[in-house]
C-alpha cells in the first residue's frame, strides 16, 4: 500500500514539473519580444503607437533607391506585394545581398522610427530569383 502511495506522489511531481515547464515555454514564446510578420499594407494599417519591431515583406521599388558606395547599406521603398500603391520607406545598414535589385522580393526585420515613420532594418534577405525555379523545372525529366 505504501509503495502505491509513493508511486502516485512520483507521478504527481512529474506531472507538476511537466506542466510547469510547458507553461514556461508557452509564456516565453508569447513574450513582448515577439516579431510580427507583416506585409506593407498590414504594417501601414497599424496604429503608429503599436508599430515597433516587425518583419516585413514586399518588393523593392525602382524609385527612390539610394545606395552609398562609400558605406554599406541601402535606402529604398518597400512596395506591398498585393497593392502596389502602398509603400514604406526602409533604411538598411549592412552588407547588401548580390540579388538585391529593383523588383526583387525582400524580407526586412527591424524597428519603426516613430518620429519619421521610416523602417530601420537590421536584417535584409532577398528571395531567390524565379529563374532558379525555372531551371530546376526544365532540368526535371519529362515522362
Show Cβ contacts of residue 94 under 8 Å, excluding neighbours closer than 6 positions. Answer: 72, 73, 122, 123, 124
pLDDT band at 1 (very low <50, low <70, confident <90, very high): low
* C-beta of residue 41 within 8 angstroms of C-beta of residue 58: no
Q: Where are the beta strands (DSSP E) in the chain?
A: 36-39, 53-60, 66-67, 74-79, 87-92, 105-112, 119-126
What does the pLDDT look like over 75-108, one tens digit per residue? 999 999 888 889 999 999 888 888 888 988 999 9
Positive or negative, the CA dihedral 57, 62, 63, 69 is positive
What CATH number was assigned to the domain covering residues 36-128? 2.40.50.140
Task: Kindly list the domain boundaries of the chain, sorted by start residue.
Answer: 36-128
Q: How confident is the model over 22-26, as a mean pLDDT? A: 79
pLDDT value at 116 more than 90 = no
Amino acid at each position: 500500500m505504501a509503495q502505491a502511495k509513493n508511486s502516485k506522489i512520483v507521478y504527481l511531481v512529474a506531472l507538476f514539473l511537466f506542466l510547469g515547464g510547458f507553461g514556461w515555454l508557452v509564456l516565453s514564446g508569447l513574450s513582448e519580444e515577439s516579431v510580427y510578420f507583416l506585409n506593407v499594407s498590414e504594417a501601414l494599417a497599424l496604429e503608429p503607437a503599436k508599430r515597433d519591431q516587425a518583419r516585413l515583406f514586399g518588393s523593392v521599388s525602382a524609385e527612390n533607391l539610394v545606395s552609398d558606395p562609400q558605406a554599406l547599406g541601402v535606402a529604398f521603398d518597400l512596395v506591398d506585394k498585393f497593392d502596389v500603391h502602398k509603400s514604406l520607406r526602409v533604411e538598411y545598414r549592412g552588407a547588401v545581398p548580390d540579388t538585391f535589385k529593383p523588383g526583387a522580393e525582400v524580407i526586412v526585420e527591424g524597428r519603426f522610427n516613430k518620429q519619421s515613420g521610416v523602417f530601420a532594418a537590421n536584417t535584409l534577405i532577398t528571395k531567390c530569383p524565379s529563374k532558379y525555379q525555372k531551371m530546376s523545372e526544365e532540368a526535371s525529366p519529362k515522362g
